[in-house]
Structure formats: C-alpha cells, structure tokens
Structure 1
Amino acid sequence: MTLRNPSRSAPPPKQDGSASDDFDSPWKQGLELYFAQAVELLAPSLYRIIDWQVPVVFLDKELQAIDIPGKKHRRIVDKLAQVRLRDGSDAWLLVHVEIERHLKGAQAIKAFAWRMYEYRFRIQSRIMVQRQQDQLPRIYSLGVLLESQGVGKELIHTDEYLGQGVQFRFPVVELESWRSRWDELETLAPSNPFAVLIMAQLRANQYPNKRTRLGPKLQLVRQLRQYGYPPHIAVQVYRLVEWVVTLEKDQEPEFVRAVQALSKENEMSYVTLIERAGRDKGFAEGQIEGQIEGKIQGSVEGQAKLLLRLIQRRFGPTTDDVAQRIQAATAAQLETWSLNFVDATELDDVFRD
C-alpha cells in the first residue's frame, strides 16, 4: 500500500458518508495527559506566562457543579485548571471544546459566544464565593472548534440595551487552521505529543466515512516510530489515535495485520494495543492496558526530555542532580524509568531498578 505524504499535496475532498465518532472522550483524555503541551500549541502567548514548574490543578468537580443552560444535550469538553503565573499569582484556565462538527450560521456562532460568557461568569462567581475573595479571579477562556471553519480567531459576546451592557471578547482556535501547517505539526510532534492528537482529529475530519480511514490511520501509526517516545508515552498517543480515527469493525483485523507488518518491516515492534475492551472503559494517565512488544527506538535525548517533563508535572520542580541523572542515562535506563513512572507515587519509585 502506497501512502502519500499529506504535507506534500492538498488534502483530498471529504468522502461521502458519516461516522458516529466519540471525540468527547479522547479530547478529555488528551487534555488531561498533555495539558501544558495543548496550551503550548493552542495558546502560545498564554503558555509563555505560566510557571509550568508548579503542578497544574484540575478543578473538574467545581466545573461539573456549574449548571449551564442548554449544556445537557451538547457535545462539549471543558477543562478548568488552576495554574501559577510567572509573576507568582494564580489564574484559572477554561478550555472549552465544542464537539459539534459545524457551527452553522450566525445564530449558532452567537450561541457559542454566549455559552463561553456564561461559563466565565459562573466560574468567577463560584470561585469568589468558595474562596471568599472580593475581586474577580483572572480567567483565560479559550474556545476550540474541532471542524468549523470561517468563525475567525476571536469572538465577541455583546449584550447591550439602552446604553447598558457587557462585551466579552475571547480567542477561538479552529483546528482546521492547522491543516495547512501539517509539516509544522510533524516537526513539533517529537517534543509535543498533543500535536499527534491534532493530526488524528484532522484525519478524522477529512474522512468522516470510517471505511475510508484505513490508509490515513496506518500512516499516522507509521509516523509514531519517528518521534522517539518512551514506551508509556507511545502507548498513550497510540491509543488516542485509535480512539479518534476509528474504523468499521470488519476493517480492524486488516488494520492489526498491517501494524504487525510494519513491525516486521522495521525489525522492531510498534505499540500493538489493539485491546478494545480496555480502551472502551477509558484510561487515566499512567494506566497501560495491553502489550508492549519489544522496544521503541528513538532519540535518547528526546526520551530524557519527555521523562523529565513528566516527572516535573507529577512531582513538581526537580533538583539539578535529578535532571543531570536523567540526561546522563542510557536508553535502557530511560526505558526502565519511564515504565516505573507509570505506577510511581513518589520520585524515588521512578529510579528503582
């Protein structure tokens, strides 16, 4: 099978047909696993002012307690995270992902802007009451549209009457805007696994008919080997691809055979987590269900950087000694430590033999 590099030619028109895809779950997991990397790609100016040495605190319970009119039957993913800024102050990030394939018409766009405003207002009110603050907390709202195009990079919610009213302006990321930047995504992917989730979503958008996805999906899997991820990162990223770019049931055996052939072709094994039961139940960070056959070869330097970033995210800032130990490690040591990280409850657990 010959696979064309999508960065070398214009994407083919979307295929006829439709697929019932679960984009909610993989996007929720992707944001939880790679929140900093997501912010780096989707809101780079924001990324630069956050102190990523301080662990991010997700406030899912607080967000779930906020009743937003009209939310019940909408397909959305929301993440509310408390972060520390470089100036030492706290801020809250609301990442709101609309799973709708399209925002059709001016009324739908207007309703989306209103929902973003409604979330912001209710979150600010709740935080003020809970923490007994007398000033509005700082909140950065980011809207992400998976497939809609032409909405723009910014939306404004306006509510005015007789000279009174409010105006709320917030940034919007149209994921389709990354399609023309595919080469950039491939360049970023070795150091930013979230780029692969964007690539997978673009492929799912482009081929809404599941039966047309086998070739594009195999190409994404083939590319994973080039990125040099440690085994547990490779597992997580592979499963996100599996979750987003779904196939028809009768195509899955062919896909499994093709992945196995890729393994033999490169004299090493890909991550072959084809175990659907574990995927359907969901997975949390650090949970690996399935098999890892052989070793995933890649850049030692890249593996060291990813492991250090994960350690800092879970356990907080590290000492120079820890950083130097990781940077000086062999490929075998990094693989062992990366697997140890999965179940580690304290830093020492990572470095056990």
Structure 2
Amino acid sequence: MPNPTPSARYDTPWKAALSHAFRAFMAFYFSELSKEIDWSKRPRFRDKELAGISLGRPPGGLVAGKLVEVRLLDGRVQWVLIHIEVQSQRDAALARRVLDYNYRIFNEYAQPVASVVLLADDDPDWRPTAFHNRILGTVMGISFSVAKLLDYSGLTDELSASHNPFAWLTLAHLRTQQAGHDADQLYAAKWQLTKVLYQHGWRKERIIVLFKVIDWMMALPEPYQQRYWHAVLKLEKERKMEWISPLEQSFMDKGWEKGLEKGRRDGVAAVLERQLTRRFGALPKSVRTRLARASMAQLEAWSDVLHEARSLKELFK
C-alpha cells in the first residue's frame, strides 16, 4: 500500500516566517501601513503575551497569530501593537474573533491596537473586513485591513522573481493548496520552489529559515521526501553550498514542535504571574518558581479558578 501524502502544515511555517521577516511581511501584504512604521526602531514580538490572552480552543484554520510592538513615524503615540492573524480556512466567526482579540489586547495594555488579517483560504469570495453591532443608536465593532493570497494566484512569474521572501512563501502556500494530496504534483512544486529559493542570493540565515518553512509546509510521503532530500544535497554540492546538514534535517520537525509548545506555556505563565501580582501584590520567589515549573494543564487550571481564590494559598490548594 503506497504511503499517503501527509496533510499540509501551515501553522509552524507562517509563524517562523513572520518572526524572521516581519518587515517584509508588512511591505508585501500591507505596504501602505508599512510606510507609517518607524523601521529604525526594532519591532518587539509579544507572542508570549498573546498566548496568554486566549479565547479558548484555537479555531479551525487559524495558522498564525502574532502580536508585535512597533513605533510610528509621526510620533502620535509612544508605541502601537499590531495583531496579525493568518487564516487558512473560511470561518464565519473570524471578524468577531478579531474584535475580541483587539479589545482584549487594548484592555490589557491600554495602547492602540491595529489588526491585520491575511486570508490564506481557497474561497475567492470570502473577504471579511469588519464586524459591527448597531442597536438603539449605539455602534460597537471593528474594521480591519485584509490581504488575500488568492489575489496572487495568477502572478507566478512575478512572485518567483520578487526578492521579498513573502512573495516566495505566497507561491509555496498556493502550490501546496493546489497539489492537495497528489504526491507527484507536490514534489514537483516543492523542488521547483527550492531551486528558486537558492537563486535569490539571500544570506545563509534566510535560506535556512525558508528551507525549513517549505520542508514543513509541503510535507511529502517518506519515499518522496527521501528523493527530495537527495536532490537538495546534490544541488548544494553542485553550487558548493553546504547550508542544510542531514543532522539539521533530522531534528527539524521535532525542534519546531517543541519550541512552539514551550512558547505557548511560557506565555500563559507570564500572563498568570502578572494577574496574580495585580491581585495579591509582589509574589514570593516560591510562587514564581512554581509558575515557571508548572505544566500547561496546571497553569490553565489555576487560571480557571483565579477569580474565586481569596489568597495565593487558596489558589494553589
């Protein structure tokens, strides 16, 4: 029985790419907004805090959520938070979720929050840009900026030629969607994109990050993956480049999964520590140590009963 083609994996690749090249992301999908940001001040990622501002179980199709602190060129405010969502499936609750996150982030930091959404689904007619409630003279809601990957589907040559890494990632995502579970088509697309990756002359760090992105996103059945890996090693040898070692390849998937899990746990712990400090004052070292060592399940359990606890002793009991 032939090995089935694994399901496409979009979450880790998009998060890795956003962390690696956030400015390029904004410049490619939201160019007008990017022009308002002071890029001389390095953006600060607040992913741990975002992980703690949870709306419950992650919705289907959400592949990346990011929270980034930036400065603006006009100096109107000291700093601004940009909340980013990448959505790979149609979701009727998306606009409402953007409103919920925007408000909760604003309420947490008392700073302006801009929300931007990249729609990476396969429905050309789905383009949510707002959520509003109007009742008895009161209007509550949000309008947000949106970009759609399908809008680039007919621009293969332009995407391949662009030096922006998100042009290349857009092409990779679209080709992955188009291939579905057809291993031959997926292999051909992955190999073609790999060759394009090496043609751009990007620095070593970027090539390694993007190689991991495509290898994770365009998951192949084992025989195809072995064939692909041998082709990559041959290409590097021909170009006298030895950037992706077999050892790096073998630990690639496990390392990313472990890192994402730890990042989410640390984020929940940080938010819970801040909430406890606000309620009970400065925390003793023993409590901070307990939070640092707790499992995700334990942190969530404490968070659930925090509003009922009258003391730290009662909470941890």
TM-score between both structures, scaled by the size of structure 2: 0.71
The Cα RMSD (Å) is 2.4
Rounded Cα–Cα distance in structure 2 between residues aligned with 1:197 and 1:21: 14
Q: Deviation of residue 138 (structure 1)?
A: 2.1
2: distance between equivalents of 1:72 and 1:144?
15
Q: Which residue of 2 aligns with 1:80?
A: 67
- Structure 1 residue 71: Cα displacement: 3.1
Say if 1:77 and 1:99, in contact at 8 Å, map to a contact too: no
CA shift at 1:73, angstroms?
A: 6.5
* 1:72-221 alignment runs, 5 A limit: 75-88=62-75, 89=77, 90-100=79-89, 103=90, 108-109=91-92, 111-128=93-110, 137-151=111-125, 155-189=129-163, 192-209=164-181, 211-212=183-184, 213-221=186-194
Decide whether aligned partners of structure 1 residues 69 and 269 sit closer, same or farther in structure 2, where only a CA change above 3 A counts: closer
Match in the other structure for 2:214? 241
Deviation track 1:153-173 (CA, whole Å, cap 9, x = no partner) reads 552212223333313211222
Q: 1:206 to 1:260 in 2, by over 3 A?
A: same
Higher relative contact order (CA 8 A, sep 6+): 2
Give the superposition deviation at 1:258.
2.4
Letter in 2 for 1:45: E
Question: Which letter maps to 1:115?
Answer: R
Match of residue 37, structure 2, among 45, 50, 73: 50
Q: Which runs of 5+ in 1 are unaligned?
A: 1-16, 129-136, 285-353
Confirm or deny: 8 A CA contact 1:38 1:194 kept in the other structure. Answer: yes
Match for residue 288 of structure 2? Answer: none
CA distance in structure 2 between the partners assigned to 1:257 and 1:61 by the alignment: 37
C-alpha displacement of 1:147: 2.0
1:260-312 Cα deviation digits (max 9, x unpaired): 44345x5534644454432113359xxxxxxxxxxxxxxxxxxxxxxxxxxxx
Q: Does the 8 Å contact 2:9/2:218 carry over to 1? A: no
CA shift at 1:194, angstroms?
2.7
Question: Which residue of the other structure, out of 48, 55, 65, is the alignment partner of 1:61?
Answer: 48
Contact 1:98 1:143 survives alignment (8 Å): yes
Rounded Cα–Cα distance in structure 2 between residues aligned with 1:223 and 1:262: 12
Matched, 1:34 2:21: yes
Gaps (5+ residues) in structure 2?
Answer: 258-317
Q: Distance in 1 between matches of 2:241 and 2:54?
A: 47
Q: Distance in 1 between matches of 2:242 and 2:172?
A: 17
1:317 corresponds in structure 2 to none
Task: State the percentage of identical aligned residues.
Answer: 26
1:154–1:112 CA distance, 2 compared to 1 (3 A): closer
Structure 1 residues 22 and 165, CA gap change in structure 2 (3 angstroms):
same
Secondary structure of the corresponding residue to residue 246 of structure 1: coil
Secondary structure of the structure 1 residue equivalent to 2:193: helix
SS of alignment partner, residue 114 of structure 2: strand
Take 1:236 and 1:118, find their aligned partners in 2: how far apart are those partners?
A: 32
Amino acid at match of 1:92: L
- CA–CA separation in structure 2 for the residues paired with 1:21 and 1:158: 34
Q: Is the 8 A contact 2:12 2:256 kept in 1?
A: no
Counterpart amino acid of residue 198 in structure 1: T
Q: Is the 8 A contact 1:239 1:273 kept in 2?
A: no
- How far is 1:114 from its partner? 0.5
Matched residue type, 2:198: R
- The AA in structure 1 aligned to 2:169 is L
TM-score by length of 1: 0.65
Please report how far the alpha carbon of residue 21 of structure 1 lies from its aligned counterpart in structure 2 after TM superposition. 2.4
Provide the rounded CA distance (Å) in 1 between the counterparts of 2:118 and 2:217.
16
For the Cα contact (< 8 Å) 2:99–2:142, is it kept in 1?
yes
Structure with higher helix content:
2
